[in-house]
Amino acid sequence: MCVARIVILFAFASLMSVPLIAQQNASPSQAFPGTFDLEFPEGDTLRNITEPVFLGKATFLQRLEERNGVQAPATATPSALRAPLGLVLCGGSARAYAHIGVLKALEKAGIYPDFIVASSMGAIVGMLYAAGYSPDDIQMLIHAIPLESYFDIVIPTNGGLINTEIFRATFRKLVGKLDLSETAIPIIVTAEDLKSRQQIWIAEGPFDRVMTSAFAMPAIFEPQPFGEFGLIDAGATIIAPVEPALQISDHLIISTAFYDRTMNFSSPITVLNRAVDIGKTRAGMEEIGKSHAFVIRNDVENLSYMQFSDPDIIISKGEQSAQAALEKLNPNLRSQFENSPLPGFFEHRSLIHNSLVRTIQQLQSGEMPSASFMIRGLPILKLFEPFSRAPGETGTEPRIGASLVFSISKFRAVVSYFAALNPEPGKEWAVETGIRANPLGSLNVWLTTRLWGEYGSTYILDHKPEYWEFAGLVKNTAVLKNKKIGFQLGGDMLLKTAGTIATWQTLGLVEASSTKQFSKAGPFLQPWYSVEAGGFVENTSGAQIASGIQSTLMGGINSTWVSPKARAFAKVSLNGQEFAESKFDGFRSAAPRGSALSDLITNAEIAVAPQDMYLDMAEALLFRNFELAPFFDTRWSNASGEYFHMSDWAAGLSFSFEARAFGLAPATISLYASYAGSKVFTLQIRAGVLLSEQ
């Protein structure tokens, strides 16, 4: 009986306790409502972080409604109108070039989006497509104009290492003063605001400013002022901008450009890159997963984010990935995405294409885009001398220092101080002022003044001026179909500070060369050439004035693996006076140069160049365009009282490569070793490549 009583009492106590436990666990909010609203009331800056700001929302929705109305059948009722088709282009740095291939495949399948949402590098592709450029035109543009060359590396006093003003000016020249709300296809570009920490959805604003805001990678690019905001790349927080698209429509195509390669985490830079990638990729996957969209997973996940120099490879992967994804859909599902463009779409695209071709030719000819006012400090660091230097060209000496640059419209002025890293006597430091102006068409003028000197006993504080240098260069180039023709006239004068002339030289040349051709197929063999010829006057050998003719002929055949190249440089005095031979003549030996009445330098090499080979280090440096070339050079010359003969030869091996950091304009470095007939062994590093297509 005692046991029975205990069991009954325990069961009764258990039953009595259930409601209490259930009440405690089922709805804790009824017991404690939370204090979030008390701690973060409406209007609090931190509470607002979760709310995106949609700039141009009303205009965007109106454009989309008009667009959808035009495409719907005349008899359709409002409820029968289909949901607009949205295309989401994810970020991914160079991997985002895959979106160009995706657009090609979609158009072949008869699929044209009603609107686009894009971020980061995906926004560059998306904005150009929205503006009316065809996928082929976008591919042609990135081939013809190395856009990274319009970036200025600056002293980071404005939140970043790279200023994009010249890049913005270039895009104003390409698309005009276009507002994002005026594009052929409505588009939303995402960015992040540093001030409010809110995400900004941009559907209106200056086209060029929106574009630079979209890819303003934090700390690398300067944040972009945009009204009351200071914008950076939205890829810092999320790589797939799906949320804005879902608020517009649930009928979506998403093109990804994720990164999922095997990584070595021994480098702190690699660890940092992965740490940043974790959050934004995780958030992107969550957004894509809840979208129920047609997803195109581009096969670029093992490529470096800096691989901007291989657009064709990435574009091809994007096209193949999109075709494979479309083939997975049954005909009924695939037909749901078929969508015709608006009337007049292709006519507008044709006008855009013709304008693009003209603008590319102008930029390739050297025409400067008209820039807004900019003043910035720039670092100076040049480690190696180039292979060639013509009168009037400055900035070729290895040096370290800083500049203050001022630019507006087509005028650029600079004031610099630098120390020479491999100084000549009397040229250990220099103070330089220079201007570049583009007054008309592709005519460019450079003027430079330098005060050279040596350091005294106290080194930094004690400067002893030795020489004044005055240099000028006038250059004009025109691109006509597959050829580039032009002229240049340059000269420089070196005066001792006492006022006596040390040396001077002038050179005028007419130039012609083949231009790099863009071809979607990419021919196996691509011949190229360049030729220049003109006259010179100088007093580089003593006080005598030599005058004569000078010319260079260069050519070769580029192929997938092996590329033969040849060059001939000739300089002949016609008045019987000698000139000083130069270390920039292309003869790859450190053999001493003297004075001559005539020079002929020949260069021949067979370069082994695996086009698809690259190497990246710690996700910060990318090396590509490797060339290994055995070479044979000859020097033919004669001085006063001599006959023309082969005075020297050099045989050796050259190795060159292209290096770039964070997708910036690449630096090309050449290392060569040679042995000369004059019994001189040479091991040198130079900037650039001696035999290269212009």
Q: What is the DSSP string of 20-72?
A: HHHHHHH-HHHH---SHHHHS-TT-TTGGGGS-EEETHHHHHHHHHHHHHHHS
- Closest Cα partner for 431 from 519, 364, 510, 497? 497
Q: Is 31 exposed, middle or buried (0-12, 13-18, 19+ CB in 10 A)?
A: exposed
pLDDT of residue 70: 60
Distance separating alpha carbons of residues 379 and 403, to the nearest angstrom: 6
- Closest Cα partner for 547 from 510, 584, 508? 508
- Asked if 601 and 687 count as a contact pair (C-beta separation under 8 A), the reply is no
pLDDT of residue 8: 41
Which residue carries 């905001």 as its tokens? 229
Backbone angles phi, psi at 33, to 5 degrees: -70, -10
pLDDT of residue 516: 72
Which of 93, 114, 119, 120 is labelled catalytic?
120
Distances from the Cα of 457 to the Cα of 276, 341, 451, 467, angstroms:
50, 74, 19, 19
Amino acid at 305: Y
Distance separating alpha carbons of residues 570 and 305, to the nearest angstrom: 44
Distance separating alpha carbons of residues 175 and 207, to the nearest angstrom: 8
Could you read off the pLDDT of 96-118 as tens digits, one per residue? 999 999 999 999 999 999 999 99
Helix (H) or strand (E) holding 215: none
Residues of the chain with pLDDT under 50: 1-26, 29, 72-80, 521-522
Helix (H) or strand (E) holding 509: strand 501-514
Q: What is the DSSP string of 84-104?
A: PPEEEE---GGGGGHHHHHHH
How many other C-beta atoms lie within 10 A of the C-beta of residue 348?
Answer: 14
How many other C-beta atoms lie within 10 A of the C-beta of residue 96?
Answer: 32
pLDDT of residue 560: 78
Query: How remote is the C-alpha of 118 from its chain's centroid?
Result: 19
- Closest Cα partner for 139 from 478, 522, 621, 693? 522
Which of 137, 193, 233, 310 is labelled catalytic?
233
How many other C-beta atoms lie within 10 A of the C-beta of residue 332?
Answer: 7
Segments making up each domain of the chain, as ranges: 53-365, 397-503, 526-588, 620-633+646-693
Question: Any idea what DSSP says for residue 181?
Answer: G
Backbone angles phi, psi at 302, to 5 degrees: -100, 5
How many other C-beta atoms lie within 10 A of the C-beta of residue 548?
Answer: 19
Clarify whether 233 is annotated catalytic.
yes
Distance separating alpha carbons of residues 104 and 412, to the nearest angstrom: 40
Spatial CB neighbours of 66, under 8 Å, sequence gap ≥ 6: none
Q: Name the CA radius of gyration of the chain, rounded.
A: 32
The 3-state DSSP class for residue 317 equals: helix
pLDDT of residue 74: 44
Instruction: Give the pairing type, strands 187-193 and 115-119.
Output: parallel
Q: What residues form DSSP beta bridges with 686?
A: 670
The 3-state DSSP class for residue 3 equals: helix
pLDDT of residue 394: 86
pLDDT of residue 517: 63
Instruction: Give the pairing type, strands 199-202 and 526-538.
Output: unpaired
pLDDT of residue 518: 58
- Asked if 555 and 563 count as a contact pair (C-beta separation under 8 A), the reply is no
Residue 679 tokens read as 């019994």
Spatial CB neighbours of 642, under 8 Å, sequence gap ≥ 6: none
pLDDT of residue 661: 79
pLDDT of residue 526: 85
Distance separating alpha carbons of residues 403 and 430, to the nearest angstrom: 12
- Closest Cα partner for 119 from 235, 228, 197? 235
Residue 30 tokens read as 């009824």
Spatial CB neighbours of 572, under 8 Å, sequence gap ≥ 6: 548, 549, 550, 597, 598, 599
For 53-365, CATH gives 3.40.1090.10
Helix (H) or strand (E) holding 323: helix 311-327
- Asked if 407 and 437 count as a contact pair (C-beta separation under 8 A), the reply is no
Spatial CB neighbours of 23, under 8 Å, sequence gap ≥ 6: none
- Asked if 490 and 517 count as a contact pair (C-beta separation under 8 A), the reply is no
